[in-house]
Amino acid sequence: MQLIGREKNEVLSNPFRALLLAIIVSKKSASWNDVKNRLEEAWGEFNPNTLVFHLNRLIDAGLVEKVTMGDRYVYRPTKLGVKRTNDEYCKRFEFLDSI
pLDDT tens-digit readout, 34-48? 999 999 998 899 999
Buried b (16+ CB within 10 A) or exposed e, 41-71: eeeeeeeeeebeebbebbbebbbbeeeeeee
Model confidence over 10-66: pLDDT tens digits?
Answer: 888 888 998 899 999 989 999 999 999 999 998 899 999 999 999 999 999 999 999
Domain of 82 in residue numbering reads as: 5-98
Q: How far, in Å, are 6, 17, 76, 89, 97 from residue 41 at the CA level?
A: 31, 15, 20, 18, 12
Q: What is the pTM of this model?
A: 0.78
Residue type present at position 22: A
The enclosing domain of 65 has a CATH number of 1.10.10.10
For 65-87, how does the pLDDT look when each residue is reduced to its tens digit (9 = 90+)? 999 999 999 999 999 998 888 64
pLDDT of residue 66: 96
**Count of domains forming the chain:** 1
